[in-house]
C-alpha cells in the first residue's frame, strides 16, 4: 500500500510538472507569435507570403495574419484581437492613434488605385482626366459598378470620390458586394462592370481576369499603407515586443528592399513602393 501511495504521489507530481511546463511552453509560444490585422490586398497580392518567412527567420517571431478590410482590421485592434495593424486609410489610422488605441503610425509603402473594367469600356472612361470624372461617367451611363462595400481602405477611397463629385450612387447598376478585392474583381468580370482596385491585387490576379486597367496614374489615386502597434495600456495582453519587432523589420533597409523588389520578376514592376526611408 505504501508503495502504491508513493507511486500515486509521484505520478501527481509528474503530471503537475508536465502541465506547468506545457503551460509555460504555450505562454512562450504566444509571446513568439504576433497577430497582424491587415487588408486583403497585402494577402491576395502574395506580399506577406514573400516577406514573413524571412522575418520569422530573422527574429524568431511567427505572424498570424487576419486579412479583412481596413475598417474591420482597425476594429479587431480596437477590440484587442490583434497586436499590430497594416492598413491603408491614413485618416482612419491617425484617428486610431489619436484615440489611444495605437502607439504610432509608421509609413511603410504605397501603390496606387486603378479603375478596371471590360476592354470595350462601355462607360468611356479611358481618356478622362481624373477619377471623379470617370465615376461620374459610369453613374450617368448606369454601367455596372461593383463596390467593395465593406469599409475597407479601397471602399473608403471610393466613397471619398463619390462625395467629391456630389453623387450618392444607387440603383441596380451599383452593386455593394461586402467582399474582399479578389472576389470583387471576379464579380466585375462576371457582370461586365467596373471596380476600383489597388494595382497590386489586380496585377497578381490579372492572368485570371479579362479586365483591363482603364484609368490610372492620376495624382488622386495614391494608396498609402501604414503600420501601427496596438497600445498595451489599452490592451495589456497585446504583444508589444513582437509588434515592434515586426514594425522595425518592415521599415528596415532589408524589409524595404524586399518590398521594393516584390513583383518585379513576374510583373515587370514592383507591386508596392517602399516608403519608410524618405
Give the residue among 83, 82, 80, 103 at the shortest CA–CA distance from 93.
103
* Superfamily (CATH H level) for 112-221: Periplasmic binding protein-like II (3.40.190.10)
- Residue 42 sits at φ, ψ, to 5 deg, of -70, -30
Per the CB < 8 A criterion, the answer to whether 74 and 156 are in contact is no
Residue 107 has pLDDT above 50, yes or no: yes
- Provide the mean pLDDT of the chain: 89
β-partners of residue 65 are 36
Q: What share of the chain is helix, strand, coil (3-state, %, to 5)?
A: 50, 20, 30
Pairing of strands 84-87, 222-230: antiparallel
Indicate if the alpha-carbon torsion angle 270, 197, 222, 224 is positive or negative. Answer: negative
Q: How confident is the model at residue 278 (pLDDT cuts 50, 70, 90)?
A: low
Q: In whole angstroms, give the CA distance from residue 119 to residue 21.
A: 62
Q: Are 32-110+225-274 and 112-221 equal in CATH topology?
A: yes
- Residue boundaries of the structural domains of the chain: 32-110+225-274, 112-221
- Residue pLDDT, tens place only, 178-219: 998 999 999 999 999 999 999 989 998 999 999 999 999 887
β-partners of residue 156 are none
CATH number of 32-110+225-274: 3.40.190.10
Listed range (143-157, 230-244, 264-278) with the worst mean pLDDT: 264-278
Per the CB < 8 A criterion, the answer to whether 182 and 208 are in contact is no
Q: In whole angstroms, give the CA distance from residue 102 to residue 84.
A: 8
Amino acid at each position: 500500500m505504501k508503495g502504491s501511495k508513493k507511486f500515486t504521489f509521484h505520478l501527481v507530481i509528474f503530471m503537475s510538472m508536465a502541465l506547468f511546463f506545457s503551460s509555460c511552453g504555450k505562454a512562450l509560444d504566444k509571446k513568439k507569435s504576433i497577430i497582424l490585422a491587415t487588408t486583403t490586398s497585402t494577402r491576395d497580392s502574395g506580399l506577406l507570403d514573400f516577406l514573413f518567412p524571412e522575418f520569422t527567420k530573422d527574429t524568431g517571431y511567427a505572424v498570424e495574419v487576419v486579412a479583412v478590410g481596413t475598417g474591420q482590421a482597425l476594429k479587431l485592434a480596437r477590440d484587442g484581437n490583434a497586436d499590430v495593424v497594416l492598413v491603408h486609410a491614413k485618416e482612419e489610422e491617425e484617428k486610431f492613434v489619436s484615440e489611444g488605441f495605437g502607439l504610432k503610425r509608421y509609413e511603410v509603402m504605397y501603390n496606387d488605385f486603378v479603375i478596371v473594367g471590360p476592354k470595350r469600356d462601355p462607360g468611356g472612361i479611358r481618356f478622362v482626366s481624373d477619377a471623379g470624372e470617370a465615376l461620374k461617367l459610369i453613374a450617368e451611363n448606369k454601367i455596372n459598378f461593383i463596390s467593395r462595400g465593406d469599409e475597407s481602405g479601397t471602399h473608403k477611397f471610393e466613397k471619398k470620390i463619390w462625395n467629391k463629385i456630389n453623387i450618392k450612387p444607387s440603383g441596380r447598376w451599383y452593386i455593394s458586394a461586402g467582399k474582399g478585392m479578389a472576389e470583387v474583381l471576379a464579380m466585375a468580370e462576371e457582370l461586365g462592370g467596373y471596380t476600383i482596385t489597388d494595382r497590386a491585387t489586380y496585377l497578381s490576379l490579372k492572368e485570371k481576369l479579362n479586365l483591363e486597367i482603364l484609368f490610372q496614374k492620376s495624382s488622386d489615386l495614391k494608396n498609402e499603407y501604414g503600420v501601427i502597434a496596438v497600445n498595451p495600456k489599452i490592451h495589456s495582453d497585446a504583444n508589444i515586443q513582437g509588434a515592434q519587432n515586426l514594425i522595425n523589420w518592415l521599415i528596415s533597409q532589408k524589409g524595404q528592399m524586399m518590398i521594393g523588389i516584390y513583383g518585379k520578376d513576374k510583373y515587370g514592376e514592383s507591386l508596392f513602393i517602399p516608403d519608410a526611408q524618405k
